[in-house]
Structure 1
Amino acid sequence: MELKNAVAVVTGANRGLGRHLAEQLVRRGAKVYAAARHPETVDLPGAVPLHLDVTDEESIRTAARVASDATLLVNNAGISTGTPLIAGGVDAVRLEMETNYFGPLAVTRAFAPVIEANGGGAVLNVLSVLSWLHPAPLGSYAATKAAAWALTGATREELAPRGITVSALHVAYMDTDMAASVPADQKTDPADVAAQALDGVEKGLPEILADDTTRYVKQSLAASPDAA
């Protein structure tokens, strides 16, 4: 889809990758609803702050009514608690799944009819290399991203007849708050990741692999787990 004159809703747009995505969409000529749980924290010139909590159904419904002209949804909001699946607290596991899987599902369900009514458009889901790589210390987060990858594929097929393309962005470590403890030389510039993601949306790519680590892991999916 053409991003110039598109109308985008970006969740988690007040910081990190979400802010870069929203900022670059504004620069590309889109109208942008910068969605966040606390819209007063949105400080992006040219964007429209929008209250949206992906774990709150009423918040989602209200946002869909406010952004009734949307043609692009970017499911970016997410959390990582660093919780393993067996030793970790189940409440943290549930919170990650509610935010990273059920959140994008609920937002997509709310905005799909809006985008369709506006002539079609696109959905971009921000996923992770951990959609495919599942280290035990991050087991909960990896499980949510694996589930969100399945969500992306299934909704891509379901929404195609309604004129809506669905793309997935996969990326390893970025220089954002979520990866603050990771050495700088192992992190990708989120501005570059945002540019790749938006280029991919414009081209209608089903998947955007934003770094060498992610491309390597994707190519290795057929290998035996013992080879990891």
Structure 2
Amino acid sequence: MKIENSVVFVTGASRGLGLAFAREALARGAAKVYAGVRNPAAFSEPGMVPVALDVTDPASVESAAKATPDVTMLVNNAGIAEITGSPFADSAEDQARRIFETNYYGVMRVTRAFEPSLPDDGSGAIVNVLSDVTWRSVRILAPYAASKAAAWSFTNNVRAHLKERNIRVVGLHVGFVDTDLTKDFDVPKANPVDVVRQTFDALEAGESEVLADAGTRALKATLSLTVPGYIDPDVLEGR
């Protein structure tokens, strides 16, 4: 399939990786790009159609889907992250519920709402933004990691379910990306434009998964080992 002439809906498109997805879709010749944002009145990106969307609100999701019946490609990008002291912190359960509401249930809601109208002629597609913490143990991100692991499982099941409709489903795995969401982390970060370009290239090439940085590729490569990287991070350092 091609991005050119497609009609793309991007959730969480007001900034960061979502805005990068929307801009790249336009650059590749998308016929229309819908930007799912919480406040359309405050969004004025040239060439895009803002649509009110709160992925935690079922009514908002249904309204957005009904307002955009011509969508051929859905990008589930909206997400939140919070730091917790440890997996056993007093706040961890409340954080997990809040994070899952966006990162997992939000993806479920939006996919369910948009899926019926996606074309089954080979031009339909879903891109889900996941994370390398699906396979990496990061104590301060335990609730976030759990939400992305759940979203990965959902992505794989949706891919199998939609295969008979010829709708492609791509999972994007990446570590820290240089956006507002990660501004407080002093770690190496991927360029959002590069991440998006890799993802669209993979989609157009018929691939189902994107490992968008070296760290994620190295981590994925350990999964078949007796002691994978998610059990012992030293494996990633060759120790």
Alignment of 1:105-124 (within 5 A): 105-116=108-119, 120-124=123-127
Let me know the Cα RMSD of the aligned residues. 1.5
- 1:148 paired with 2:148, answer no
Q: Distance in 2 between matches of 1:129 and 1:117?
A: 30
Q: Is the 8 A contact 1:69 1:118 kept in 2?
A: no
SS of residue in 1 equivalent to 2:104:
helix
- Residue of structure 2 equivalent to 1:45: 46
Letter in 1 for 2:132: V
Distance of aligned partners of 1:118 and 1:44 in 2 relative to their CA distance in 1, 3 Å threshold: farther
Q: Distance in 2 between matches of 1:88 and 1:220?
A: 33
- Residue of structure 1 equivalent to 2:18: 18
Q: Is the 8 A contact 2:2 2:123 kept in 1?
A: no
Q: How many equivalent pairs are there?
A: 227
- Residue of structure 1 equivalent to 2:137: 134
Letter in 2 for 1:62: S
Which among 174, 181, 184 is matched to residue 184 of structure 2? 181
Alignment of 1:1-228 (within 5 A): 1-30=1-30, 31-83=32-84, 84-89=86-91, 90-116=93-119, 120-183=123-186, 186-223=188-225, 224=227, 225-226=231-232, 228=234
Q: Distance in 2 between matches of 1:211 and 1:226?
A: 20
Letter in 2 for 1:53: D
Distance of aligned partners of 1:82 and 1:56 in 2 relative to their CA distance in 1, 3 Å threshold: same
SS of residue in 1 equivalent to 2:177:
coil
Identity %: 45
- Structure 1 portions without partners, runs of 5+: none
Deviations 1:9-31 (A, max 9, x none): 00000000000100010111111
- Residue of structure 1 equivalent to 2:237: none
Moved over 6 A (4+): none
Q: Is the 8 A contact 2:121 2:166 kept in 1?
A: no
Please report how far the alpha carbon of residue 118 of structure 1 lies from its aligned counterpart in structure 2 after TM superposition: 7.9
Quick check: which one's helix share is greater?
Answer: 1
